[in-house]
Amino acid sequence: MKLRRLTALLAALAAVLLALTACVNSDSSEHPVYSDPSASPGFEVGDDARVVALGWSDGAIALELGVKPVAIYDWMGLGEATKGVGEWDAAKFGDDSPTLISAASQGDFNYQQIEELNPDLILNVRGSSDTKVTDRLRQIAPVVAAPAGSGDFAVNWRVQTQLIGKALGKSEAADALISDTDGTIARIKSANPQFDGKTFVYGVKFGTAYGAYLAGDARFDVFAELGFTQNPPILSLQSSGFFANVPVERVGDLNAQVALLSTIGLPFSDLENDQRLNSLSVVRDDRAVRLPDTDPTVQALSAGTPVSLGFALDRVAPQLAAAANR
């Protein structure tokens, strides 16, 4: 009888130890996630930290803050020529070059590849809000993610910069970057009072369809800060996050007082020769700035970082001024 009790006791103790071991292993395999720019990250990384940047332009912002990521997910397909960050930032890498993770899979991360990069920190701020992705990444290293409630790829560029800045221990540098871009916006707005109150669209043609960027995306927000307002018909269109689809029969909704028109994955000639767009008075009267999606201005607006936005606005402001004066 005593032997049976002892055996049962040892079995129970073994079960408890096994459970405790499982808990320790589970806890140790999950790194912290930081997504609140007003709070402490809960971890520290140095200037020499191995940073893997997976979110849209996360790597470029880290670079602008003085930290060179070892790998960048090249969402925009900028390529090795500009080290995945665009011509406005590439020189900051110096002689170094990051590993470029291909954007061909559009967010379907190769977790084994990420693990092999041995990161100290993973940036996935402007990306999908899928918690399963975050949960998997935190098994590899601490993760900087979008604030709770953010839409997919819809984190404001200022919040994105603050989050990444604090996570890297670069809050002052982040504030300075934001301040510099705010200064550029204020300077251009002050120099162009004719922008104030004029209706505006940033429209695109892709495939056989059209679309327009909405509030919540830097590709519209920076122009609103210059004084432009969204063309009212756009607001009644079916939207998906920060983008509204424009049906063929409603191309006239793009007929604002001033427009910026571009393409997504199409030759520029498809935009220039589009009869529907060419019939709009904003195009006929030369109040539309038309640029291919390979133009550095369009790429920089798409990147949506403090440095890229300043770069883009300085390039496009004279063209917008001329259009607004017509």
| Third-level CATH fold of 182-324 | Rossmann fold (3.40.50)
Whole-prediction pTM: 0.89
Give the CATH H-level superfamily of domain 33-169.
Nitrogenase molybdenum iron protein domain (3.40.50.1980)
Reading the chain (326 residues) residue by residue, the pLDDT tens digits are 444 454 444 444 444 443 333 333 334 468 999 999 899 998 888 888 999 999 999 999 999 999 999 999 999 999 999 999 999 999 999 999 999 998 655 557 999 999 999 999 999 999 988 899 999 999 999 999 999 999 899 999 999 999 999 999 999 999 999 999 999 999 999 999 999 999 999 999 998 899 999 999 999 999 999 999 999 999 999 888 889 999 999 999 999 999 999 999 999 999 999 999 999 999 999 999 999 999 999 999 999 999 999 999 999 999 999 999 99
Instruction: Express each pLDDT in 287-315 by its tens digit.
Output: 999 999 999 999 999 999 999 999 999 99
Domain ranges, ordered by start, for the chain: 33-169, 182-324
Q: What is the pLDDT of residue 48?
A: 87
33-169 and 182-324, same CATH topology: yes
Residue 202: partners with Cβ closer than 8 Å, 6 or more residues away? 212, 213, 219, 220, 223, 259, 260, 261, 262, 301
| Alpha carbon distances (Å) from 15 to 3, 5, 23, 249 | 18, 15, 12, 68
> CA 274, 278, 283, 284: dihedral to nearest 10 degrees?
150
Instruction: Express each pLDDT in 38-50 by its tens digit.
Output: 999 988 888 889 9
| Alpha carbon distances (Å) from 35 to 45, 164, 309 | 16, 9, 23
Q: What is the pLDDT of residue 7?
A: 47
